[in-house]
Amino acid sequence: MTGGALRLVLGDQLSEGLAGLRDLDPARDTVLMAEVEAECTYVRHHKQKIVLVLSAMRHFAGALAVLGIPVRYVRLDDPENSGSLGGEVARAVRDLRPGRVVVTHPGEWRVLEEVRGWEAGLGVPVELREDDRFLCAIGEFRAWADGRDGARMEDFYRVMRRTHGVLMEADGTPAGGAWNYDRDNRAPFRRLPPVPQRPAFAPDAVTRAVMAEVETRFGGHFGTLEGFGWPVTRAGAVRALERFVAERMPGFGKHQDQMASGEPFLFHALVSTSLNLGLLLPWEVVAAAEAAWRAGHVPLAAAEGFVRQVLGWREYVRGVYWARMPGYAATNALGAERALPGFWWTGETAMNCVRHVVRQVRDHAYAHHIQRLMVTGNLALLAGFAPGPVNAWYMTVFADAYEWVELPNVQGMALHADGGVMGSKPYAASGAYIDRMSDYCRGCAYDVRDLAGEAACPFNALYWDFVARHRARFEGNARMAPVIRNLDRMPPARLAAVRARAAAVLAAMEAGEEAVPALRG
C-alpha cells in the first residue's frame, strides 16, 4: 500500500459510514483494526464487555473484507501484537509505509491525547477527523453552552428537537403541545401483562471463540459470560431495535422509572451497547421511535420519553464531556472520600435493592437507568464514596461503558461531583423513593419505614445525614429548600439519633460487616 492511507478503526467505531472510511480507495488504502491488551485492562472490564467489543470488531472486519476493503486485523493472540494501540499503528506504518494515517476522533480523552502524540513519532501525517455519528457536534455543543448560565439538558433538548425536526408540528410547536410527557410516565408496574422477553442473540462461532479466549486471558475480570446475548453485528442490532419498537416500546414510557425483582430489562430498549459501538446510529433510533408514534403503534408519551433519552440525554452528556475534560474527571465538589465497600463487587449485602443491582450487572453487564442512578448512584452520593473508585466501578461493570458517556452520568448526575453542571439539585433520595418505584423493600431485611433503629433502611439515615452534612452548600438552592426546611423541623435529639445511625451504617460498611442477614428476624 506504499503511499496510500492507513485508516484506523477503533473498537467503538464499527460503522460503515465512519468519517475515517469515507473516500477510501481500496486499491491504495488499508484499514487497521487491532485488539490490544491495554484497552481490555486499563479498566478490568466486565467479561461480557470485552467479548461484545472483540466479537463485534471481528464481525465488522469480516463485513469490510466482503466489500473488498483491505483490512489489517491484529488479534489479541497475534505473537507480534505489541499490546497497545500506538504500538500497532507504529508497526503497521513500518510494514505498510502509508502516506498518512487517518483517525476518526476517539470517544475518550485518554485516547485522543495518545493520538495527538503519534505524528511526531510516526514520521507521517496523522489526519484526525470529526466523529459525525452524533446529532450534535462537539463544537456546536460548546457554542450553545458557552456563556450560558446553567446549560441544562431540558433547554438543549428543545434546541435539538427544533434543529432536527423531531416530534414537531408543522407550525414549529412540539407534537401534542408539550415538550415533555413525564407526567404520563409514572404508572406502577403490576407484572401483567408480562414483559416481552428481550431478544437474546445466541453466540455464533466467532463469539464463542472470543468467549473462550476471554475466559483464558481475562478470567479474573468481573462478571459471568453465561447468558451472553448482546447483538454483535449491524444486522443483529437492527433486529433488536425492531423488536424493541414492536414489543416493548409501548410500555417504555409509563414504566421507565420502575424497578422490579426478577425483571432486569423491563421495557427498556437495550440499545446502548449497539449505539455506543456504532452498530446503530442515533438518528435511525430516533426516527424509529417517531415513526412508531406516527403509525399509532405507541403513545406520544412513550415516543417522546424515548426520544428525550437519545436525542437529549445522550447528546448532552457527550457535549458536557468534551466541553469539560480533562478537569471534569477530577471534580469532587462534595469532598467525597470514602472507600467503596466490598459488596459493590460481591453483592453480599442485606440491602435487597443493592444486592439485586450488583447481581444483575454481574450476570448481564446491564442495569437500567433508575437502578444506576437511584440505587447504586444514590448510595454512593449519600455515603460519600470517592468519585474515582465509583467511576471505576461503573466503567468496569457495564457492557455499554465508555468514558464519554459514563463519566458525566456518574460525576454529574449521580454524584453531583461537578458541583451542579449537569443538575441544579443532587439526585438524593431516602428508602421511600426506592420503595415507591420497586418491590425491593418488601423482600429486604431492613425496614424502609424506620429511620434510626437498628434494622432501619440504611438509605434513610444516610439521606438525612447527607442533607445535614451539606446544609450550607444547599441552603441557597431553591429546589432544595423544602428538604432543608424538613431537616430544620427535625427535633435535635431525633437528628442526633439519625446521624448516629448513619455513622454506624458507614462504619459497618467500612468494616465489611454490613451484610448482616435477616436483621428483622
Ligand X SMILES: Cc1cc2nc3c(=O)[nH]c(=O)nc-3n(C[C@H](O)[C@H](O)[C@H](O)COP(=O)(O)OP(=O)(O)OC[C@H]3O[C@@H](n4cnc5c(N)ncnc54)[C@H](O)[C@@H]3O)c2cc1C
In the list 33, 365, 405, 457, the residue contacting ligand X (rule: CB under 6 A) is: 405
Residue 106 contacts which entry, ligand SF4, ligand X, none (Cβ below 5-8 A, type-dependent): none
Q: Is 304 in the site for ligand X (CB under 6 A)?
A: no
Q: Specify the DSSP element, H or E, that contains 275.
A: helix 272-277
Q: Is 435 in the site for ligand SF4 (CB under 6 A)?
A: yes
Query: Comparing C-alpha atoms, which of 493, 384, 492, 392 is closest to residue 428?
Result: 384
Q: C-alpha 330: how far from its chain's center?
A: 19
Tell me which stretch binds ligand SF4 (CB under 6 A): 51-59, 65-73, 186-194, 441-449: 441-449
In the list 457, 462, 502, 515, the residue contacting ligand SF4 (rule: CB under 6 A) is: 457
Beta carbon nearer to ligand SF4, 55 or 360: 360
**Residue 89, C-alpha cell as written in the block:** 499503528
Query: Comparing C-alpha atoms, which of 22, 21, 25 is closest to residue 9?
Result: 21
Q: Is 6 in the site for ligand X (CB under 6 A)?
A: no
Using CA atoms, how far residue 484 sits from 117, 298, 328, 470, in Å, is 50, 40, 28, 10
Residue 364 contacts which entry, ligand X, ligand SF4, none (Cβ below 5-8 A, type-dependent): none
Q: Is 317 in the site for ligand X (CB under 6 A)?
A: yes
Q: Is 351 in the site for ligand SF4 (CB under 6 A)?
A: yes
Binding mask 417-456 for ligand X (x = CB under 6 A): ----------------------------------------
Beta pairing, strands 30-34 & 5-8: parallel
Using CA atoms, how far residue 352 sits from 188, 335, 360, 458, in Å, is 19, 28, 12, 11
Q: Is 156 in the site for ligand X (CB under 6 A)?
A: no
Q: 3-class SS at 338?
A: strand
**Site residues for ligand SF4, window 403-432 (CB under 6 A)?**
431
Q: Is 401 in the site for ligand SF4 (CB under 6 A)?
A: no
Tell me which stretch binds ligand SF4 (CB under 6 A): 58-66, 297-305, 385-393, 439-447: 439-447
Residue 260 contacts which entry, ligand SF4, ligand X, none (Cβ below 5-8 A, type-dependent): none
Are the C-beta atoms of 288 and 241 separated by less than 8 Å? yes
Beta carbon nearer to ligand SF4, 319 or 458: 458
**Helix boundaries (H) for 258-402:** 272-277, 282-294, 300-307, 315-324, 343-346, 352-364, 369-370, 378-383, 387-397
What sign does the dihedral 426-430-432-433 (CA atoms) show?
Answer: positive
Backbone angles phi, psi at 96, to 5 degrees: -105, -15
CB of 6 to ligand X, least distance (A): 29
* DSSP code per residue over 92-142: HHHHH--SEEEEE--SSHHHHHHHHTHHHHHSS-EEEE----SSS-HHHHH
**Residue 148, C-alpha cell as written in the block:** 450560558
Residue 410 contacts which entry, ligand SF4, ligand X, none (Cβ below 5-8 A, type-dependent): ligand X
Q: Is 398 in the site for ligand X (CB under 6 A)?
A: yes
Beta carbon nearer to ligand SF4, 366 or 459: 459
Beta carbon nearer to ligand X, 260 or 271: 271
Are the C-beta atoms of 303 and 290 separated by less than 8 Å? yes
Provide the terminal-to-terminal Cα distance of the chain, rounded to the nearest Å: 73
Q: Which CB contacts under 8 angstroms, 24+ apart, belong to 142-146?
A: 142/319, 142/322, 142/323, 144/319, 145/319, 145/320, 145/323
Q: Is 272 in the site for ligand X (CB under 6 A)?
A: yes
In the list 59, 72, 161, 314, the residue contacting ligand X (rule: CB under 6 A) is: 314
Beta carbon nearer to ligand SF4, 407 or 457: 457
Tell me which stretch binds ligand X (CB under 6 A): 74-82, 84-92, 369-377, 510-518: 369-377
**Which residues lie near ligand SF4 (CB under 6 A)?**
351-353, 431, 434-435, 440-441, 444, 446, 448, 457-459
**Which residues lie near ligand X (CB under 6 A)?**
268-272, 275-276, 309-310, 313-314, 317, 368-369, 372-373, 377, 394, 398, 400-401, 405-406, 409-410, 413-414
